[in-house]
Structure 1
């Protein structure tokens, strides 16, 4: 075979391999049911962990056996970078996005890439957004508290200030990197709104550490590398259910972070996407949300007392209040200042 033909065939094979593998996420993403661009599957990008998203997707598929579904799970920051790259290439591969970084949804709404859709069961759920217009809808009222390693800490913290002043948390309290985690960014923004930047200076003085993702800081606390961390409810409760020696503690200033769901404008699976949003807000799916150890947006589901979570209406009432449109322009500056303070 001539050398030129061999080189041509090698190039074709390489290009084919790139096209087949180029849609997948990075090494920390989870993808189920094949590649994101394969066939006409409903594609969901989410920052929800496997313990939450998998059961919801399976429930949806049982209700809608004719719809194939693929989901990819990663931190909100990585997902937004992926979406930005896809927009540059001309087409967002996902149909639905579900994360906990509320400012991202306001930004996507402003940029005109979200489909306006008011779910058929909207009147049955709690809505934390005063300016709601159907661009995105809260599908979870996530809470963050302090996850404590019960082998290392015997007297649990009762206030956020304990983490900045008590010696048992010196170089032993962790916060996930807000540049990677949407829930961590929102938590930093809410704590700064409530206590000011001096609180983070005190945390830094007591050796607070920046971890990686929201799941990683909980793992580090479970292993004993940290004594405590700022923790997402359902991630921690999932670890506790598997035997981790952890306890969630909630100071009176409750961090409640809504997790919006939205449909991308131009979705080739628009009807399926609408059905998924409707299902996600249904009593069946919201019961799965509650069973996973986080706060649903419905009041007609049962919450397991072992999770020690607030009721949905209490989470709405007692959460630290913030105007999301006001913190949106400050996102990059907030992340930068937090990083500079804590890494001093």
Structure 2
């Protein structure tokens, strides 16, 4: 009888404390530890608009009174180089990174720059999105879509071949593929399916090329916009903006990936942030793709989505010679990316 009680208590303890090797404190307990540490966490997040992570900052600081989330948004390809400088100079002042440059994470792990840490919900993240030692893991699913202004186009747009419709000539706004690896990957997928003649026809449509994956969607949402549609880029938001997923060639999705620096000055703050962004309350706030395998029934499952492979971006990014070859192929045809940084262009 006694042994049965002991076994039952042991099982209860395992359930309460979480999976072996994972964080076993509650969010509130980590919160108290982070406050004692100073109540600050510094995050570098990939993106192309300064305010893109204001929602995360507000949600985090509201949920954890006394905490300050200092978040800096910049293009991941610039964040990673600056972080390399910090690591090389033994002057790491960033606690957490969430970047699109997935190829950097295995290298940083090999260099010993990342903290092996498994948040409490780590076992619920799809295994394809995690490093087995917890050095890095996906926290959200990002992807590109077809976007159009419904006030400017009386119909629906979806397929990449729709970009060649005669009525869209001079009315497309697109992100330079040679300025963003995820957009470059999108074009690579389309070209493999539709061939270079698709790209030649697209160029003949005379699209406006801009920097920043969010810029086309932002421009399409403006009331006085002259643009009608964008393809293979971030979706926009607004009353007259709609999005859809192409079916005539694969579209891009990937797990935006997070890590804590081994020498983070505020490790408890970083742990609090990472446990929060993987928690039920953050992951399941509204139905959307999620990195977790235990999503509610009304959530879409990224592994069941047609015409996208969410795991292919990492191996593609790791092949840097191929990425550089493709980048220069597009640059030779479009020229170098023109315009201000998307963080400075007020678009």
TM-score where L is the length of structure 1: 0.71
Distance 1:324 1:279 in 2: 25
CA distance in 2, matches of 1:130, 1:121: 12
State how far apart, in whole Å, the 2-side matches of 1:220 and 1:114 are: 38
Does residue 325 (structure 1) correspond to residue 319 (structure 2)? The answer is no
Aligned to 2:245: 250
Measured after TM superposition, the shift of residue 120 of structure 1 is 1.9
Q: Within 5 Å, which residues of 2 pair with 1:247-326? A: 247-252=242-247, 253-288=250-285, 290=286, 295-298=289-292, 299-301=294-296, 310-315=300-305, 318-319=308-309, 322=312, 324-326=314-316
State how many pairs are aligned.
291
SS of 1:162 mapped into structure 2: helix
- CA change 1:222–1:95 in 2 (3 A) is same
**Unpaired segments of 5 or more residues in structure 2?**
1-37, 337-347
On the 8 A contact 1:204/1:343 being kept in 2, the answer is no
Map of 1:58 onto structure 2: 58
The answer for the alignment partner of 1:227 in structure 2 is 228
* CA deviation vs aligned residue, 1:127-186 (integer Å, no higher than 9, x gap): 4438654232111112211111212222323421221x3212323323323455454344
How far, CA to CA, are the matches of 1:333 and 1:110 in structure 2? 26
**Aligned pair 1:123/2:113, yes or no?**
no
Report the more deviating stretch, 60-69 or 277-286.
60-69
Aligned counterparts of 1:68 and 1:118: Cα–Cα separation in 2? 22
Partner SS for 1:325? helix
How far, CA to CA, are the matches of 2:232 and 2:251 in structure 1?
A: 12
- Report the Cα distance in structure 1 between the residues aligned to 2:227 and 2:101, rounded to whole angstroms: 25
Structure 2 residue 68 is the aligned partner of structure 1 residue 68 = yes
Structure 1: 5+ residue stretches without partners: 1-38, 305-309
Whether the 8 Å CA contact 2:114–2:262 is kept in 1: the answer is yes
Q: Is the 8 A contact 2:44 2:73 kept in 1?
A: yes
Where 2:289 maps in the other structure, the secondary structure is coil
Task: Within 5 Å, give how 1:1-344 maps onto structure 2.
Answer: 41-48=40-47, 53-65=53-65, 67-87=67-87, 89-129=89-129, 132-163=132-163, 165-178=164-177, 180-181=179-180, 183-192=182-191, 194-195=193-194, 197-223=196-222, 224-230=225-231, 236=236, 239-240=237-238, 243=239, 245-252=240-247, 253-288=250-285, 290=286, 295-298=289-292, 299-301=294-296, 310-315=300-305, 318-319=308-309, 322=312, 324-328=314-318, 329=320, 330-343=322-335
Q: Which moved more, 1:215-224 or 1:201-210?
A: 201-210
Q: Secondary structure at the match of 1:57?
A: helix
- Say whether the 8 Å CA contact 1:128–1:258 is kept in structure 2: no
**Distance 1:114-1:134 versus aligned 2 partners, 3 A rule:** same
Flag the 1:189–1:85 CA change in 2: closer, same or farther, 3 A: farther
Structure-1 separation of matches of 2:91 and 2:178: 25
Distance 1:128-1:277 versus aligned 2 partners, 3 A rule:
same
Could you report, residue by residue, the CA deviation over 1:75-105 in whole angstroms, capped at 9, with x for unpaired residues? 2233234334544654232111113332343
Change in Cα spacing, 1:133 to 1:197, as seen in structure 2 (3 Å) is farther
CA distance in 1, matches of 2:188, 2:113: 25
Partners of 2:43 and 2:96 within 8 A in 1: yes
Deviation of the 1:45 alpha carbon: 0.6
Give the corresponding residue for 2:20.
Answer: none
Q: What are the superposed Cα offsets for residues 224-272 of structure 1, whole Å, 9 maximum, x if unpaired?
A: 3322113656x52xx22xx3x1110211234212211111221122222
Distance across 2 between alignment mates of 1:220 and 1:207: 17
Q: CA deviation at 1:214?
A: 1.8
Q: Is the 8 A contact 1:76 1:180 kept in 2?
A: no
Conserved? CA contact 2:176–2:211, under 8 Å: yes
Q: Secondary structure at the match of 2:327?
A: helix
Structure whose residues are more often helix by fraction: 1
The answer to whether the 8 Å contact 1:101/1:185 transfers is no
| Alpha-carbon distance between aligned partners in 1 of 2:255 and 2:195, rounded to the nearest angstrom | 22
Distance 1:63 1:157, change over 3 A: closer
